[in-house]
Amino acid sequence: MIQNELDNLAVIDMDAGEIFSGSPSGRIIKGFATPCGFTPNIDLDYLFHDSMREVVVWLLTTPEERADSLYIFGPTGSGKTSLVRQLAARLNYPVFEVTGHGRLEFPDLAGHLSLHNGSMAFQYGPLALAMRYGGIFLLNEIDLLDPATATGLNGVLDGGPLCIPENGGEIINPHPMFRFVATANTNGASDDSGLYQGTLRQNIALMDRFWLCEVGYPAPATEELLLERVASSIPQDTRKGMVLFANEVRRLFVGESDTQKHGETIEVTFSTRTLIRWATLTIRFQPLARQNIQPICYALDRALGYRASRETRAMLHELAQRMFATAQATTNTP
Ligand SMILES: Nc1ncnc2c1ncn2[C@@H]1O[C@H](COP(=O)(O)OP(=O)(O)OP(=O)(O)O)[C@@H](O)[C@H]1O
Ligand SMILES: [Mg+2]
């Protein structure tokens, strides 16, 4: 069934403006006529932020112009993976996705022999599928890969074919719609903070083959809109306070808050992922308000606080008490 869908993928021209902003722009972007089993579902709550522009410019490069591969880096939970998925969903691109780790090897990407109905058959991996049928090969956490394994991708990143010795020396030439996107928390030059454990400095020749794109946390107005969509029952002032709180924690994490001494930092940060969790848990724990437990602080511990040291947690509580002391109600519902 899925094989059939992949065989029948048809490339079409779309109007980029119509797809991403609702009004025609005359800029043509290539996409696929219909989604297939590998196309991500559209998330209607997803809000495209400023960083999206850069990825769209990258996608606008026609197959003849052959864009470099894209390396998206930025802090955890800022929306890197979901940005690629959601752009792909709008263009009906199949996404062949894999998450990097220290023991990932080339056959995990290209494919391997496996037992099928009593005999050995070759199973294509995500990279081989993307190169063969067209679509995005999304390699998440590329900086966790052993640099020697990652460097094995150089030929493919140069636009060359994929050679699969395990499948009788098959050679797969890249489909014109093949796209390669890597995401990571570091820029490939290792992690200064020591918090992204397991990341490795990548080979400079590998990194030289990428167009780099940094995705930071969305602007406050975007995160406020996001909370309005996912947690509309929380009053607007409180939602705004939550975004302010998240940004203060981000400043404390990088040592840029007015309230801390030079060189002092905390060990946790507030991702967009955590912010959404905090808001949804606040709604779930709303009944605790009847027992004089403030849902917003209770949810904060479950969303973030328990990951921090005792001192940081106490500091987060104190900050939350100060910022939300005047919040009369945590949700609009009785
Ligand atoms: N702009 C946004 N609109 C809606 N949801 C978002 C947005 N940005 C992030 N999210 C949500 O936050 C969560 C984390 O996003 P995502 O997995 O894309 O982050 P990431 O940057 O890839 O993180 P990591 O570095 O940990 O892999 C997802 O559930 C995603 O839907
Ligand atoms: Mg990710």
- Given 162, 181, 214, the domain boundary residue is 214
Clarify whether residues 168 and 94 are in a common domain: yes
pLDDT at 308 over 70: yes
pLDDT cut 90: percent of the chain above it: 74
Residues 265 and 149 in one domain: no
Percent of the chain topping pLDDT 70: 96
Are residues 224 and 210 part of one domain?
Answer: no
Residue 192 lies in a domain: yes
Same domain (yes/no): 174, 226: no
Which of 30-39, 114-123, 260-269: highest mean pLDDT?
Answer: 30-39
Say if residue 287 is in the same domain as residue 313: yes
Q: Which of 214, 246, 271 is the last residue of a domain?
A: 214
Q: Note the pLDDT of residue 1.
A: 74
| 249 shares its domain with 192 | no
Name the least confident of 52-61, 91-100, 129-138, 172-181: 52-61
Cα distances (Å, whole numbers) of residue 253 to 161, 215, 262, 266: 43, 17, 12, 5
Query: How far, in Å, from the CA of 183 to the mean position of ligand 2?
Result: 6
pLDDT higher than threshold 80 for residue 237: yes
pLDDT on residue 45: 86
**Protein residue with least CA distance to atom 8, ligand 1:** 79
Residue 199 CB less than 6 A away from ligand 1? no
Q: Which two tokens stand for residue 182?
A: 């890597």
- Cα–Cα distance, 201 to 47 (Å, whole number): 32
- Statement: residue 273 has pLDDT above 60: yes
Assess if residue 331 is contained within a domain. Answer: no
Residue 331 confidence (pLDDT): 60
Is 265 a residue whose pLDDT tops 90? no
Question: Is 18 inside a domain boundary?
Answer: yes
Residue 165 lies in a domain: yes
Ligand 1, closest atom to CA 83?
Answer: 18
Q: What is the mean pLDDT of residues 8-20?
A: 93
Q: Are residues 289 and 160 in the same domain?
A: no
Residues 199, 56 share a domain: yes
* Average pLDDT value for the chain: 91
Same domain? 227 vs 209: no
Secondary structure of residue 210 in the 3-state scheme: strand
Query: Is 151 inside a domain boundary?
Result: yes
Answer whether residue 131 is part of any domain.
yes
| Mutation to probe ligand 1, out of 82, 95, 223, 280 (largest number of atoms < 8 A from CB) | 82
Q: Which atom of ligand 1 is nearest to the CA of 82?
A: 18
129 in a domain, yes or no? yes
Task: Specify the DSSP class assigned to residue 127.
Answer: H
Which residue, judged by its Cα, is nearest atom 13 of ligand 1? 273
Regarding the beta carbon of 238 and ligand 1, being less than 6 Å apart is answered no
User: Would you place residue 334 in the very low, low, confident or very high pLDDT band (cuts 50, 70, 90)?
Assistant: very low
pLDDT digits (tens, 9 = 90+) for 202-215: 989 999 999 999 99
The pLDDT, as a whole number, for residue 115 is: 87
329: in domain: no
Question: At residue 67, does pLDDT exceed 80?
Answer: no
Mean pLDDT of 32-54: 92
Question: Where in the sequence is the domain holding 151, given as residue range(s)?
Answer: 2-214
- Residue 264 has a pLDDT of 76
Nearest Cα residue to 110 out of 140, 130, 93: 130
Pair (110, 72) in one structural domain: yes
pLDDT of residue 226: 95
Of the residues 214, 237, 255, the one at which a domain ends: 214
Domain count of the fold of the chain: 2
pLDDT at 191: 82
Residue 89 and residue 36 share a domain: yes
- In angstroms, the CA 24 to CA 308 distance is 47
Residue 328 above 90 pLDDT?
no
Whether residue 138 is predicted with pLDDT greater than 70 in this model: the reply is yes
199 and 111 fall within a common domain:
yes
For 56-65, write each residue's pLDDT tens digit: 999 988 767 7
CA distances from residue 81 to 77, 105, 237, 282 in whole angstroms, order as listed: 9, 21, 30, 26
Mean pLDDT of 250-259: 86
| 204: CATH | 3.40.50.300
Ligand 1: centre distance to CA 230 (Å): 13
Using CA atoms of 237, 243, 249, 255 in order, give the dihedral in degrees to the nearest 10. Answer: -110
